[in-house]
A and B are shown apart, each in its own frame.
Chain A
Amino acid sequence: MDKLKLIIKREFLAKVKNKSFIVMTILSPLLMVGLVMLIIFLNDKNSSDIKTIAYVDESGQLATVFENSKSIHYVDLTALGLEEAKKKTETTYFGLIYIPKNDSIQYLSEGIEFFSADSPSITLLNSIESKLENKIRNLKIAQLQIDVEKIKATETNVDIVTENFSGEKSSKIGSLLRMAAGGGFGYLIFMFIIIYGTSVMRSVIEEKTSRIIEVIISSVKPFQLMLGKILGNALAGILQFVIWMISAGFLMFIITSIFGVEATSSSTAMGQMNPEMVQQMQQASTSDLQIALQEIKNMPILTMFFSFIIYFLGGYLIYSSIYAAIGAAVDSETDTQQFMMPVMLPLIIAIYVGFSIIENPHGPIAVGFSIFPLTSPIVMLMRIPFGVPWWQIAISMALLLVTFLGIVWFAAKIYRVGILMYGKKPSYKELYKWLKY
């Protein structure tokens, strides 16, 4: 046990003292924050850019909808006539809305055109269209002599509240939250396996190429060395993630409190959306905030937390021992390609299956892959926030454990033989033979 501790300590320190690790750990949060800042900045810049749009309203009925907003100003060029207005717009304005002369309100919506040098964004067009639609509808209502108040009185807003039989309420925003929580955990495991699995593999290859391996395994068992390596790298990885979380949170806090970016940018972003959406969102934000809080409370947090730990450990240990075996089998990193494919495949499938879970968290695909041990660490974690029967979790974890033992045994065998084989790239057939040595 003492030796295992020594190995873990060395592997951890070797990883942590590595320059690229230090640079990555410090730089990543800065980069992340920088990226967020850049997006906010660009967004801000984009929306502070005021577009001027001209219009020619030959019908004379719709001009009232063109009211200046924060980002769009309107200019009335009806007096110039279409041809003149086009010429003027081409040189001075962003675009020109043309509404042809039409006596009948019935056909008012036909033949409206938008001229511009650069094609307008879909949001812009949608917003103009909905403004015109509203106006024309109001005109039609007036023409049919229907009382607008009565129409308004018929408007209803149905919000179906879903509830399961044990009385837990859920909502759309709830499933969004579940998705985010599950996806976040699943993706975290995926990234961790890839980054630190590869790191284990590199470390094995380094010991092989530097030829220190034989000295070490004359003092410790190959399995101890492999385990120490896997655990040491995991600790370094956990440290890195913790530093990232803390420093990113801290930086975000500092930046938002100094510049107050968040508040202004979100309001300008809203300004760009069409008013109905803003209204919807505001509605949502007041009532749904409570629902969201309720939802978070309702999520099986304890189950999520414990299963995260179990699946994280299981998934990482399974994959990193495969990575260690690959590292032991080859002589250099360039030779790893042929063995990497079968390792990456289940991981990538798991992430894709994760997307389909959003549609149907309890469908046969989701259930199947959340039980299959090579994908379960990612897929099951994505499913758990939606509520998974305990027997499925039990089967999945049992299979994970069995697979973990099997794979570690298998990897340790390959590792034990591989680390002492120099100078050739083995085939799968030879790897199979090694199992029997």
Chain B
Amino acid sequence: MSNILTIENVCKTYGGFTALNNVSISVPSGSVFGLLGPNGAGKTSLIRIINQITLPDSGTIYLDNEKLQPHHVHQIGYLPEERGLYKSMKVGEQALYLAQLKGMSKQEAKKKLLYWFEKFEITDWWNKKIQELSKGMAQKVQFIVTVLHSPKLLIFDEPFSGFDPINANLIKDEILKLRDEGASIIFSTHRMESVEELCDYIALIHKSNKILDGKLSDVKQQFKTNQFEIGLLCDDKEMLLNEIKSKFEVDDNISATFNADLKVVVTLGKNETSTDLIKYLNNKAQITHFTEIIPSANDIFIKAVANNG
């Protein structure tokens, strides 16, 4: 699969402070790519370099296999975390201005704006000033302006902040729709549940270094701890639990008895397979469920950051 964006060995320092240290990332085309990391890790620096707001000290960036050049700004849509609009300018005028700065003609911009305004049911805002709108309303306008010129690459930095759950959902659906229509999306956030919902790929930046990247499912594989949750139906739960404990490593904290069945979390050793476990248990009791515990994005984030402390 081709990459829409390839970042190779990018370094950036501010004075004596290193913001990015030899970071290389590939963003596959047509995917939602989660750019994650704690505050101050260097995400914004990287995003600004992709947008050519600042230049890297060293390293190369390719957009769609072309070395990044000034005209590429027309193919990128960027919704920054620190965002706003001209307060005393009318919504329509302002959106037209920003679209024209992205290289659209006035007529084209107007046509597309009307389409999006109708879609978001905000046509009557056209002649309102931004200062008359609420924060959430202004965010909608910003979202439209970001995607209006149909860029190949969209960069959203905390796109859901300031939205109520209904509008956040609306935006989420639009992002996924844009991906399905062929756009590639870089998505930076601290909200791990939205990473889970949206991202196909992730990269984790911590203290100016990339510490992790890949397909979200692969990363999860990489981070799984061979833990299984099992539900068992039997007569003597206590005896069974002790019996399992003698054979396998059982997580004390999670094992508890609910309802009729016994719920156990077992961590398998290197030489043990899940088949061994099932075979063993099958003789002891009736298995009601058997699930591998897959780490959440949240778990991965915390673990990776802690490991690279």
Contacts and interface: CB of A to CB of B under 8 A. Distances in A.
A215 B78 contact: yes
Closest CB pairs A-B (n = 10): A211-B84, A219-B101, A214-B80, A210-B84, A218-B51, A218-B78, A211-B82, A212-B84, A433-B15, A219-B102
| B interface, size bucket | 20 to 34
B53 A214 contact: yes
B260 interface: no
A184 to B, nearest CB: 35
A10 B97 contact: yes
B83 A420 contact: no
B98 A215 contact: yes
B73 A215 contact: no
Contacts of A18: 88
A35 B173 CA distance: 64
Interface string B125-160: 000000000000000001001100000000000000
Contact of A6 (B76, B82, B83, B101): B101
A14 interface: yes
Interface in A167-206: 206
Contacts of A259: none
A211 B73 contact: no
Contact of B101 (A206, A210, A220): A220
A7 B15 CA distance: 31
B15 A420 contact: no
Given A14-B89, A210-B85, A211-B84, A216 B101 contact: yes
B283 to A, nearest CB: 64
Given A3-B101, A218-B80, A219-B101, A212 B53 contact: no
A219 B73 contact: yes
17 contacts: A14-B89, A206-B87, A207-B86, A210-B85, A212-B83, A212-B86, A215-B98, A215-B142, A215-B145, A218-B51, A218-B52, A218-B78, A219-B73, A219-B101, A220-B73, A433-B15, A437-B54
A437 B82 CA distance: 21
B258 interface: no
A135 to B, nearest CB: 72
A212 B15 contact: no
A214 B83 contact: yes
A301 B266 CA distance: 97
Which of A206, A218, A221: most chain B CB closer than 10 A? A218
B237 interface: no
A241 interface: no
A212 B85 contact: yes
Interface in A1-36: 3, 6-7, 10, 14, 18
Nearest to B90: A17
A232 to B, nearest CB: 12
A422 to B, nearest CB: 7
B262 to A, nearest CB: 55
Contact of B83 (A10, A14, A211): A211
Contact of B82 (A7, A219, A221, A422): A422
Nearest to B99: A219
A436 interface: yes
A335 B80 CA distance: 25
Interface of B: 14-15, 48, 51-54, 70, 73, 76, 78-80, 82-89, 97-98, 100-102, 142, 145-146
A420 B48 CA distance: 10
B85 A6 contact: no
Interface of A: 3, 6-7, 10, 14, 18, 206-207, 210-212, 214-222, 420, 422, 433, 436-437
Which of B53, B82, B100: most chain A CB closer than 10 A? B53
A218 B51 CA distance: 6
Contacts of A7: 101
Nearest to A217: B53
Nearest to B79: A215
Contacts of A3: 101
B73 A210 contact: no
Nearest to A14: B89
Given A215-B146, A218-B73, A222-B53, 13 more contacts: A6-B97, A6-B101, A14-B88, A210-B84, A210-B85, A212-B84, A212-B85, A214-B83, A215-B83, A218-B53, A219-B101, A220-B101, A422-B82
A216 B88 CA distance: 16
A44 to B, nearest CB: 45
A437 to B, nearest CB: 6
Contacts of B73: 218-220
A215 B145 CA distance: 9
A3 B97 CA distance: 10
Contacts of B82: 211, 214, 422
Contacts of A215: 78-80, 83-85, 98, 142, 145-146
Contacts of A214: 53, 78, 80, 82-83
Contact of B14 (A207, A217, A437): A437
A315 B2 CA distance: 53
Contacts of B54: 437
A210 B131 CA distance: 10
B68 to A, nearest CB: 13
Nearest to A430: B15
B28 to A, nearest CB: 22
Contacts of A14: 86, 88-89
A145 to B, nearest CB: 87
Contacts of B78: 214-215, 218
A18 B52 CA distance: 32
Contacts of B83: 211-212, 214-215
B251 to A, nearest CB: 45
B288 to A, nearest CB: 54
A422 B82 CA distance: 10
A210 B73 CA distance: 22
A214 B52 CA distance: 11
A210 B80 contact: no
A218 B70 CA distance: 10
A179 B70 CA distance: 51
B168 to A, nearest CB: 20
